Structure 1
Amino acid sequence: MIPKKSGKYNVISFLLCIVIITLLTGCKQGSTDWAFYFVVWNEDIYEIDKTVIVDVADEIGTVKKHVVNEGNYSGVFSNLLPKGAKLYKIKEGNTDEAIAVELNGTFVEARNQGKYRK
């Protein structure tokens, strides 16, 4: 004759299964999604909004690093633009407000969202 399992044993087994499942799914490594496409230049973060810019002025920088995972970075980097992409001042614009970036042969606007927090 097989002894009956008590209700207490069933509850403990259930809770143990929940803990194991939580640990297995919670330990997944992977990249997190960025909130928006950006470039960091001059310690400010600029959201790339893809508005086409016709008149650009001087080149002001170059993307030094393309980043995939969220983290603490320094210098000029972007989660969209490749390493080597050029950044430009918008003609008759203020770099405190927006800059132009070259994306697939087209100049698009990147709007200043404030200081980049490391």
Structure 2
Amino acid sequence: MKKLAAVMLILFGLMNGAASASWAYPFVVYDGGIYAVTTETLSRDLIGKPIGKVTRYSDQEGTYHGNFSNQYPKGTVYYEITGIGTERQIAVQADEKTYVRAVYQGPYAGGEEKSHTWWMYAAGAVVLAFAAVFVYYRRRNTHSV
């Protein structure tokens, strides 16, 4: 029984995939790409139409989906920059009157909608179910003798 408990604790420890470190630099994720946020402000006349907004914020490392940011809160709006394609740069509304440039760095590794975390929880549930059935039948057979 003690071995089973130890195995279960190890499995639950392995299922926790969250990291607790901080990000290396401020960024936003737009349309599956990661954009490094610069300190360069943009004049209002360079700001084009809105193209998206932050759907999730976190200041802890991890893998997140959607238009994610480690710098700006949920709801922060992204804009195209006049004369520059969104595949190269976008503008981020830093506050009511300030827009900053964000430069494309490549595809965001966490941008895929396939989350592999669910299967770890499913495997843990299956292991727990087997362990419960094993313990139940073992106790039942021990008491019936």
* RMSD of aligned alpha carbons: 1.5
- Residue of structure 1 equivalent to 2:126: none
The question of 1:107 aligning with 2:84 is answered no
For residues 19 and 32 of structure 2, the distance between their equivalents in structure 1, rounded to whole angstroms, comes to 27
For residues 108 and 68 of structure 1, the distance between their equivalents in structure 2, rounded to whole angstroms, comes to 19
Question: Identity over aligned residues, as a percent?
Answer: 37
**Divergent runs of 4+, >2 A:** none
Which has the larger Rg?
1
| 1:14-51 alpha-carbon deviations (Å, 9 max, x no partner) | xxxxxxxxxxxxxxx97312110000010000000121
Please state which structure has a larger fraction of its residues in helix.
Answer: 2
TM-score (norm 1): 0.72
Contact 1:31 1:68 (C-alpha < 8 Å) held by counterparts? no
Structural mapping, 1:8-19, within 5 Å: none
For residues 92 and 36 of structure 1, the distance between their equivalents in structure 2, rounded to whole angstroms, comes to 26
- Residue of structure 2 equivalent to 1:47: 36
For residues 20 and 107 of structure 2, the distance between their equivalents in structure 1, rounded to whole angstroms, comes to 23
Contact 2:49 2:80 (C-alpha < 8 Å) held by counterparts? yes
By how many angstroms is 1:72 displaced? 1.1
For residues 58 and 67 of structure 2, the distance between their equivalents in structure 1, rounded to whole angstroms, comes to 11
The question of 1:97 aligning with 2:81 is answered no
For residues 30 and 70 of structure 2, the distance between their equivalents in structure 1, rounded to whole angstroms, comes to 13
Aligned to 2:22, the other structure's residue is in SS state: coil
Equivalent residue pairs, number: 90
List gaps (5 residues or longer) in structure 1.
1-28
| 1:48-85 alpha-carbon deviations (Å, 9 max, x no partner) | 01211111000000101111211111100100011100
- Residue of structure 2 equivalent to 1:34: 23
Contact 2:19 2:61 (C-alpha < 8 Å) held by counterparts? no
TM-score (norm 2): 0.59
Please state which structure has a larger fraction of its residues in strand.
Answer: 1
